[in-house]
Amino acid sequence: MSNNKLAFSKINYIIMLIGIAVLVLGFFIMTLDTEPYGFGFLGLTLGPIVVILGFVIEFVAILYKAKQDQ
């Protein structure tokens, strides 16, 4: 068993940062919508799909476990 004091490995943190970047990108896409109250394609379809993808990436980052060398 390794004597690692961090909860996750380096790859987990990298995946988490990618997930946060995708989340920020999704919210930014939603702000680009020019329709009133954000009722256009960007605000109702593309932005939320990108945000959900960001949350899926975060979920994967939490559950990902690196293979141990034997």
Question: How would residue 5 be classed by pLDDT, with cut points 50, 70 and 90?
Answer: confident
DSSP 6-69: SSS-HHHHHHHHHHHHHHHHHHHHHHT--SGGG-SHIIIIIHHHHHHHHHHHHHHHHH--PPPP
pLDDT tens profile 20-32: 999 999 999 999 9
What residues have CB less than 8 Å from 62, skipping those under 6 apart?
8, 12, 16
Q: Give the residue extent of every domain in the chain.
A: 34-64
Q: What global pTM score does this model have? A: 0.84
Assess whether pLDDT exceeds 90 at residue 70: no
Structure tokens, 4: 């690692």
Assess whether pLDDT exceeds 80 at residue 4: no
Q: What angle do CA 36, 39, 40 make, to 5 degrees?
A: 100
Q: Of 22-26, 39-43, 66-70, where does mean pLDDT reach its minimum?
A: 66-70
